[in-house]
Amino acid sequence: MIPQRIKHAVEASPELNEQLLAAGMGLDWKKFNRTVFDFLARRINRKVTQLAAAQPALLTEKLILGKDQFQHLIADQHLNTDEAITHYFLTQKRPFIWISGKTLHSYWNKGKAKETKLNVLLAYLDVPFMDWDDWKSAVVSAGIKFSQPKLTRKSSNQDLIKKYFLGSYALYYQKSDSSKNLVKAPFLIDVDERGQAYAQTLTEGHPYRSSLIELRDGILYIHCENQVFDEKENHIFNVGNETNPEVLFGVSNTISVKKKMAIGIRNLLVKQKQAFTEETFLEKEIPFDSTTKLSREETIVLKHFLMQPVNLINSQHCCPLSVLESKVK
């Protein structure tokens, strides 16, 4: 299946979303049929064709085209130099078909993904080549089997995280707009193919992945980066000496969506009994005045947030000291 990190980045592509809206197709990817994916494939192929002309190494290194297809193309079109490859793609009236709508449709319906096709999508997304392997390994659950570390006095904080904190969690926090909604987001702590612990979550539909996760003096620090835009958010949870945490209390800091201002947010992590799947790795909003039936967990967490005097700490723009003085008089 297509890695979640790539899938979410494609779905969040401003370019594709703009074209989907302009064509009246909406943005609900779960409802897209083959016709819509044909539409998307043409847009992706157009950009990747331009990239192939500008970066012939994408072809010569067999990154976005299989070996057999590449050899047939070179032989049929007599493309013996980088200049010839560039000229060929610049002069084509129609984009080369790097990925078809049929293939895209299958990927969004649990079809097995080929590496060259994932490379096509990564090229389209302008992901730096040095990061391609990380993106292709970023799945909802790495599924890596490893031996639980035997803890000693010399055990690292990574060993402690892998021993006690791996699993699927629900991350709860109050939405930072004026909607008075509680957000329930998937939050995964897992191990990647290199044996390193990492965290993965969703915020406002955008995929976030940890650039650093560490345990220091009973505090779990998780620094996450938006995988689509240049944004970060940092989570800090109190864990103490707990070895089987079910509910973790903490805070996060990030920027508000609309005003792009620094904001502090109360966080609650609740360990889930069932591991996430492709279908369940989703966000949910719960209105503070919800009248719909909630689960026992959601009811308890909602009451907890309603009891707190402050769940959000907003910030202001910088100003001269004299302006601050006028506000406190």
| pLDDT (tens digit per residue) in 259-300 | 788 999 999 999 999 888 877 888 999 999 988 889 999 999
Q: Does 74 share its domain with 214?
A: no
Q: Does 265 share its domain with 123?
A: no
- The residue from 137, 172, 203 where one domain ends is 137
Q: Taking a C-beta distance cutoff of 8 angstroms, is the pair 240, 41 a contact?
A: no
Q: Does 131 share its domain with 161?
A: no
Does 209 reside within a domain? yes
Does 45 reside within a domain? yes
Q: Does 14 share its domain with 99?
A: yes
Q: Does 111 share its domain with 176?
A: no
Does 144 reside within a domain? no
Tokens of 140: 């909802």
Q: Does 178 share its domain with 274?
A: yes
Identity of the residue numbered 256: S
Does 219 reside within a domain? yes
Q: Does 204 share its domain with 310?
A: yes
Does 151 reside within a domain? no
Q: Which CATH number goes with the domain that contains 268?
A: 2.40.128
- The residue from 89, 104, 137 where one domain ends is 137
Q: Which of 21-30, 59-68, 182-191 has the highest mean pLDDT?
A: 182-191
Does 29 reside within a domain? yes
225 vs 233: CA distance, rounded Å: 6
Give how far Cα 108 sits from Cα of 105, 162, 187, 286, Å.
5, 31, 22, 27
Does 145 reside within a domain? no
Q: What does the pLDDT read at residue 150?
A: 56
Q: Does 165 share its domain with 273?
A: yes
Does 132 reside within a domain? yes
Q: Does 67 share its domain with 177?
A: no
Q: Does 175 share its domain with 114?
A: no
301 vs 185: CA distance, rounded Å: 13
Query: What's the mean pLDDT in 228-255?
Result: 88
Domain that holds residue 113: 4-137
Per the structure, how many domains does the chain have?
2
Identity of the residue numbered 49: T
- The residue from 75, 105, 137 where one domain ends is 137
The pTM (predicted TM-score) of the whole model is 0.60
Q: Does 37 share its domain with 186?
A: no
Q: Which contacts of 114-121 are long-range, i.e. CB under 8 A and separated by 24 or more positions?
A: 116/62, 116/63, 116/64, 116/65, 116/66, 118/2, 118/3, 118/6, 119/58, 119/63, 119/64, 120/44, 120/48, 120/64, 121/2, 121/6, 121/10, 121/44
Percent of residues, the chain, with pLDDT higher than 70: 92
Residues 6+ apart with CB under 8 A from 248: 169, 220, 237, 238, 239, 268, 269, 270
User: Is the confidence at residue 18, as pLDDT, over 90?
Assistant: no
Q: Does 197 share its domain with 233?
A: yes
What is the DSSP annotation of 253-313?
EEE-TTT--EEEEEEEEEE-SS---TTT---EEEETT--S---HHHHHHHHHHHH-S-SEE
Name residue 287's beta-bridge partners.
181
Q: What does the pLDDT read at residue 223?
A: 94
Q: What does the pLDDT read at residue 3?
A: 85
